[in-house]
Amino acid sequence: MGNKEKAMTISQTLSQNDLWERVRLTLKDSTNQRLFATWLEDASLDAIEETAVGKILKIGVPGPFYKDWISSNLMPDLERAFSSQVSQPFKIELVINQKKTEPQSTATSVDDFEVSALPNENMPPKRDFLNHEYTFGTFVVGQGNQFAHAACHSVAEKPGNDVNPLFICGPSGTGKTHLLNAVGNAVREKRPHMRICYISGERFINDVVTSIRHNQMDKFRSRYREKYDFLIIDDIHVLARTNSSQEEFFYTFNAFHEAGKQVVVASDKLPREMEGLEDRIRTRLEWGLTVDIQPPDVETRMAILRYKAEKSGIFISDEVISLIAQFSRKSVRELEGHLATIRMYSELRFVPITMDLAREVFASVLNQEKSGLSVDEVQRIVAAHYSVTARDLKSETRVKTIVRPRQVAMFLTRKILDMGYAEIGRAFGNRDHTTVLHAEAKVRDLLAENPDFKSEVSRLETQINNSQWTRT
């Protein structure tokens, strides 16, 4: 029995509690056991809400921190687990469940996940699946996304006019989904009469397959081609998997374009890079404007972290923000995950978020990144700070204005690079290892006695740790 057929059989017999139990078992098998025990053990399927475009599965979690972390890190796992049990399109919403409640009597089974629950063709959609927290106001604009942001603004202002379709391309986790939702939310606010369809490519495929299985393609076509005014599809590249989905999208796209209705799609690949995509669809996706989103630069990453921290009520210094931003280069999701991680450590230990905590929490990441550092880089930064040269640090000169910077450079080389005393001595003009030992002891004494000196050395350490990132 195939997965789809299995899902159909289960949906006919499972209660809400049984459905959640099966999903829990799937999650236990597919996720790290520690992650499951920490984040999903106390979660529950609190309700199944019916909408005109599918079902909303409301997952109860203990608090806002759990909600943020699961949303950023485990949502794909939840979606896959439910997809193995349920055939009808659905959306997962995380809700804070401070007090366990009995499941609603109107949602004790998932029988109505069948295609018979497709919206009545004579009724407008009751609600879309837009994330109403993703707006232009909450989107942090930087050098890598400013053109895409401007294009989305233009489409929201004048849908169906100059830019149709709008194709947003960029790596995973760079803000494509946020911009898609921002477009939909802006249109919804300015044109409440407009009927918006926001859907993922995966959901579109599921809808096609389920409609074919139940011989209800007429309802499918009426729903997509006649009842909506604005079409937004995320992860459009997944349509290349199936011919039937491509065919339905082709005719749906034509219907929208010929009627002057707006189409906005997003993908991590350009149309010409999508293997298996039909040429007739490829050319249509290239008709309008293609905008590119690049991973955020360090300044944008810092701005995103500040915004996320303020929104979540997290007190975090600029120094810690800078450190996290420097090594979180892959995506916005990575930034959010690192912020959630240090917040978790802070809350579980009842300690503030400090540089010491950040270095402890992200020790493995920092150690990996430090492999790009060298003694020469430490010497260069320390020498520049004290207005001397790296050559001075290696020289035989013993004047105070050189000795102190040399001792600091030796101390930081030992602390950051974890080199041996003899090796450090050779890097500083072939000095004896006892000289390095003396320098380390001297600096430690000054750190204990002089708060200003301690702050100065701490800033230098941060600058050195960040140096390889500012060069990438």
Sign of CA dihedral 355, 359, 365, 368: positive
pLDDT of residue 250: 92
Within-domain flag for 128 = no
Within-domain flag for 30 = yes
11: closest CA among 78, 71, 57? 57
pLDDT of residue 3: 45
Other Cβ atoms less than 10 A from the Cβ of 26: the count is 18
Asked if residue 271 lies in contact with residue 165, where contact means CB atoms within 8 angstroms, the answer is: no
C-alpha 260/C-alpha 135 separation (Å) is: 24
Residues 174, 225: one domain? yes
Residues 302, 247: one domain? no
Considering 260, 292, 324, which residue would you say is the last residue of a domain? 292
Residues 22, 46: one domain? yes
Q: Which domain holds residue 18?
A: 3-117
Within-domain flag for 427 = yes
Residues 37, 100: one domain? yes
90-96 vs 166-169, strand pairing mode: unpaired
Residues 140, 271: one domain? yes
Angle, nearest 10°, between helix axes 298-312 and 318-327?
130
C-alpha 178/C-alpha 134 separation (Å) is: 5
C-alpha 30/C-alpha 32 separation (Å) is: 7
Sign of CA dihedral 184, 189, 191, 192: positive
For 290, the enclosing helix (H) or strand (E) is: strand 289-292
pLDDT of residue 7: 40
Residues 396, 353: one domain? no
Residues 212, 152: one domain? yes
Asked if residue 115 lies in contact with residue 121, where contact means CB atoms within 8 angstroms, the answer is: no
Tell me the CA distances in angstroms from 85 to 24, 58, 211, 416, one per residue in order. Answer: 11, 16, 17, 50
pLDDT of residue 45: 87
Beta bridge partners of 266: 168
Within-domain flag for 404 = yes
C-alpha 393/C-alpha 373 separation (Å) is: 18
Give the CA count within 13 Å in the CB-facing half-sphere of 459. Answer: 9
Give the CA count within 13 Å in the CB-facing half-sphere of 392. Answer: 20
CATH number at residue 79: 3.30.300.180
Go through the chain and tell me how many residues it has.
Answer: 472
44-51 vs 54-61, strand pairing mode: antiparallel
Q: Write the single-letter amino acid at 33.
A: Q
- Residue 471 DSSP SS3: coil
CA end-to-end span of the chain, whole Å?
51
Question: Could you check whether the bond before residue 296 is cis, i.e. omega within 30 degrees of 0?
Answer: no
7: closest CA among 117, 81, 85? 85
- Cite the DSSP H helix spans in 353-450: 355-361, 363-370, 375-385, 390-394, 400-412, 421-427, 433-449
Within-domain flag for 369 = no
CATH number at residue 323: 1.10.8.60
Considering 320, 337, 362, which residue would you say is the last residue of a domain? 362
Q: Which token pair is 245?
A: 């989905």
Within-domain flag for 96 = yes
Considering 233, 265, 292, which residue would you say is the last residue of a domain? 292
Residues 91, 179: one domain? no
Q: What is the pLDDT along the chain (472 residues), one digit of tens a residue?
A: 444 433 433 343 467 777 888 888 888 777 776 677 777 888 888 888 877 767 888 898 877 777 877 887 788 888 888 877 777 777 888 888 754 333 333 332 333 333 323 444 444 444 457 888 889 988 888 878 888 999 999 999 988 877 889 999 988 888 899 999 999 999 988 888 888 999 888 888 888 888 888 888 888 888 888 888 999 999 999 888 888 889 999 999 999 999 999 999 999 888 888 888 899 999 999 888 998 888 887 788 888 898 888 888 888 888 888 888 877 777 788 888 888 888 888 888 888 898 888 888 888 677 655 556 788 889 999 999 999 999 999 998 889 899 999 999 999 988 877 777 888 898 899 898 889 999 999 999 999 888 888 888 888 887 887 665 544 4
Q: Which token pair is 7?
A: 């899902």
Residues 398, 305: one domain? no
Asked if residue 207 lies in contact with residue 239, where contact means CB atoms within 8 angstroms, the answer is: no
DSSP-assigned letter for residue 287: S
Q: Which token pair is 65?
A: 């921190």
Residues 21, 81: one domain? yes
Q: Write the single-letter amino acid at 388.
A: V
Asked if residue 54 lies in contact with residue 89, where contact means CB atoms within 8 angstroms, the answer is: yes
C-alpha 383/C-alpha 157 separation (Å) is: 54
Backbone torsion region of residue 367, taken as left when φ is above 0, otherwise alpha when ψ lies between -120 and 50, otherwise beta: alpha
C-alpha 440/C-alpha 9 separation (Å) is: 70
Distance of CA 170 to the CA centre of its chain: 13
Residues 272, 143: one domain? yes
Domain count for the chain: 4
Within-domain flag for 306 = yes
Residues 256, 286: one domain? yes
CA dihedral angle for residue 367, residue 373, residue 378, residue 379, rounded to 10 degrees: 150
CATH number at residue 401: 1.10.1750.10
Asked if residue 460 lies in contact with residue 472, where contact means CB atoms within 8 angstroms, the answer is: no
pLDDT of residue 232: 94
pTM of the model: 0.54
CATH number at residue 211: 3.40.50.300
C-alpha 361/C-alpha 341 separation (Å) is: 8
